[in-house]
Amino acid sequence: MAQDITVMWGSGSPPCWKALIALHEKNLQGYNSVLLSFDKKEHKSQQVLDINPRGQLPAFKHKDRVVNESYGICMYLESEFKSQGNKLVPDCGRAQARMYQRMFEAQTMQQKIMDVVAYTWRVPEDERHDSAVKRNAEALTAELKLWEGYLKTGPGPFLAGKDFSLADVTVYPNIAFLFRFGLCEKRYPNLATYYNSLKDRPSIKATWPPTWLENPQGMDMLKDFESNTPSFSHCVIRNCFCNPLL
Amino acid sequence: MAQDITVMWGSGSPPCWKALIALHEKNLQGYNSVLLSFDKKEHKSQQVLDINPRGQLPAFKHKDRVVNESYGICMYLESEFKSQGNKLVPDCGRAQARMYQRMFEAQTMQQKIMDVVAYTWRVPEDERHDSAVKRNAEALTAELKLWEGYLKTGPGPFLAGKDFSLADVTVYPNIAFLFRFGLCEKRYPNLATYYNSLKDRPSIKATWPPTWLENPQGMDMLKDFESNTPSFSHCVIRNCFCNPLL
Q: What angle do CA B199, B200, B203 make, to 5 degrees?
A: 95
What is the model's pLDDT at position A220?
84
End-to-end CA distance of chain A: 32
C-alpha distance from A217 to closest chain B C-alpha (Å): 33
pLDDT digits (tens, 9 = 90+) for B133-147: 999 999 999 999 999
Nearest to A218 by CA among A16, A35, A12: A12
End-to-end CA distance of chain B: 32
* Residues in B touching A19 (Cβ below 8 Å): none
B 13-52 residues inside an 8 A Cβ radius of A: none
State chain B's mean pLDDT as an integer. Answer: 92
**How many beta-carbon pairs under 8 angstroms link A with B?**
94
- Peptide bond preceding B15 in cis form (omega within 30 of 0): no
Query: In the predicted model, what is the mean pLDDT of residues A141-159?
Result: 95
Q: CB atoms < 10 A from the CB of B42, how many?
A: 17
Residue of A72, A103, A107 with shortest CB distance to B100: A72
According to CATH, the topology of domain A2-80 is Glutaredoxin (3.40.30)
The answer to whether A222 and A182 are in contact (CB under 8 A) is: yes
Query: In the predicted model, what is the mean pLDDT of residues A65-74?
Result: 98
pLDDT digits (tens, 9 = 90+) for A158-201: 999 999 999 999 999 999 999 999 999 999 999 999 999 999 99
What is the model's pLDDT at position A242?
42
For residue A229, is pLDDT > 80? no
Which residues lie closer than 8 Å to A89 by C-beta, 6 or more apart?
Answer: A78, A96, A99, A165, A166, B79
C-alpha distance from A215 to closest chain B C-alpha (Å): 32
For residue A237, is pLDDT > 70? no
Question: Please, which pLDDT band fits residue B126 given cuts at 50, 70 and 90?
Answer: very high
Say whether domain B93-239 belongs to CATH 1.20.1050.10. Answer: yes
C-alpha distance from B206 to closest chain A C-alpha (Å): 26
Question: Long-range CB contacts (< 8 A, 24+ apart) of A50-59?
Answer: A51/A8, A53/B146, A54/B108, A54/B146, A57/A8, A57/A9, A57/A10, A57/A13, A57/A15, A57/A16, A58/A7, A58/A8, A58/A9, A58/A13, A58/A15, A58/A16, A58/A19, A59/A7, A59/A8
For residue B244, is pLDDT > 70? no
The verdict on a CB contact (< 8 Å) between B97 and A66 is yes
For chain A, say whether B142 makes contact (Cβ under 8 Å): no
The answer to whether A159 and A97 are in contact (CB under 8 A) is: no
The verdict on a CB contact (< 8 Å) between B65 and A103 is no
Strands (E), B93-241: none
For residue A91, is pLDDT > 50? yes
Distances (CA, A) of A98 to A168, A191, B15, B77: 11, 17, 19, 13
Domain ranges of chain B: 2-80, 93-239
pLDDT digits (tens, 9 = 90+) for B183-198: 999 999 999 999 999 9
For residue B240, is pLDDT > 70? no
For chain B, say whether A140 makes contact (Cβ under 8 Å): no
C-alpha distance from A139 to closest chain B C-alpha (Å): 11
Between CA B24 and CA B22 the distance in angstroms is 5
H helix intervals, A61-126:
70-80, 93-117, 119-122
pLDDT digits (tens, 9 = 90+) for A201-228: 999 999 999 999 999 888 888 887 765 4
Residue of A65, A89, A104 with shortest CB distance to B94: A65
